[in-house]
Structure 1
Amino acid sequence: MIWQDLYREFITLFVVIDPIGTIPVYLYAAKGVKPELRVKFALRAVLIAACVLLAFLVIGQIILETLGLRLGSFQVAGGIVLFLFALDMIFGQSKPATEIEMAERDDLSGAVFPLAMPSIASPGAILAVVILTDNHRTSVSEQTVTALILVSILALTFLLLLLATRIQKVIGDTGASVISRIMGLVLATVAIDAIINGLISLDLVALFAN
């Protein structure tokens, strides 16, 4: 693989995983987790996302070809899930003090949904790793390099999530609530864009236009 290919793959995976865009999702999903458990929360989310993405990198193409699934279907489904989550971020009411205290929990299930999936290991990211490691076009060594690029981006995502915790401590609950709603709007926009791209991939936009 030449440097141009490495750069292209890095940019592609960085965009579809979107480490920066994952920060508001993390702040929202982790707001009820005890502060001393948030590092573990972020680590679990990244590790789960890594397992999912690496699994699809290895056997994803076989699964998709067997089931006959298309990228557009993944994009539409993922976009709908993200949009529903964005609505909760925008319209969700602030918790009273007693409810926040009750929410300080040891349960880290939020690391799976929505943080690990569909935020980090998004449908776009899953399909991207499958496309970049096409068994018909790339060798095992090239797929290994792609896997290393993927792991490096996930490591960067984890570091950004750790910084997000510090940011939340500085801005407080009010600031976090404001940011959550603003980023909810951004996430809703991203979700709608994913749905539209999925419909275009499925040729449904042209069908509706006619």
Structure 2
Amino acid sequence: MLSILITQFVVLWAVIDPIGTVPVYLSQTNGLTSKQKRLVALKAVGIATGVLLFFLIVGQFLLEAMQIPLPAFQAAGGLVLLLFALSMIFGEGKPAQETKLGEETDHSELASLAVYPLAIPSIASPGAMMAIVLLTDNHRNSIIDQSLTAGVMVLVLLATLLLLLGATGIHKIIGNVGAAIISRVMGLILAAVAVNNLLMGVRDFYF
């Protein structure tokens, strides 16, 4: 059982990618106050947790009811990730008005920022949604096994939250230029992961 939980932890860490979320968080919260950054981090992780728990509980029933095979869901998720990765690589610098958000940013704007692109698709990525559905396959796992998997997922999400809360310190070290460089490098890596998911989904769908 311990080896299974360790394997699940590694899988969920890879698909949620807490470290890879840090540059996305830094770029999206540029110009916010420390309090607002913490609020965005808490909201983003909270929303991502809710989404992943939803897929853990009803994801398989939903896909089966809609007659959507998992490979098709994987391919669609890869396509969405690819588009987001391309925006990270080729997107223009942050608009000037975004660097002036500061105290003028209200809670609705912060909530919107927390939802996209932080909660979805950065933390609760299509790959993470698919992974949690596969790891909690109702045909192979008992309720206890699925509960343990949920605990592992929450542990990874807590690690994500801690990294985001410490991202300000990281930003002080690397600066805006460093954050921009990391963002584009992570965008390239994310594009590779997205293409891999897309090709695997297409392969599994036809073969």
1:141 maps to 2:144: yes
Q: Which residue of 119, 125, 143 corresponds with 1:116?
A: 119
Equivalents in 2 of 1:182, 1:151: separation in Å? 27
**Deviation by residue 1:61-100 (Cα, 9 ceiling, x = unmatched):** 211111111222222222222222222222223347x534
Equivalents in 2 of 1:75, 1:202: separation in Å? 10
Aligned partner of 2:131 in structure 1 is 128
Deviates more, 1:55-64 or 1:74-83: 74-83
For 1:20-35, list aligned pairs within 5 A.
20-35=19-34
Aligned partner of 1:11 in structure 2 is 10
Aligned partner of 2:97 in structure 1 is 99
Structure 2 residue identity aligned to 1:183: M
**Deviation by residue 1:89-124 (Cα, 9 ceiling, x = unmatched):** 22223347x534434433211211111111211122
1:170 maps to 2:186: no
Aligned partner of 1:89 in structure 2 is 88
Matched residue of 2:159: which SS? helix
Structure 2 residue identity aligned to 1:151: V
- Give unmatched runs, 5+ long, in structure 1: none
Equivalents in 2 of 1:32, 1:200: separation in Å? 43
TM-score by length of 2: 0.87
Q: Which residue of 179, 197, 202 corresponds with 1:199?
A: 202
CA RMSD after TM alignment? 2.0
Per the TM alignment, residue 151 of structure 1 is displaced from its structure 2 partner at its CA by 0.6
Give the share of equivalent positions with the same residue, in percent. 50
- Contact 1:78–1:118 (CA under 8 A) maintained in structure 2: no
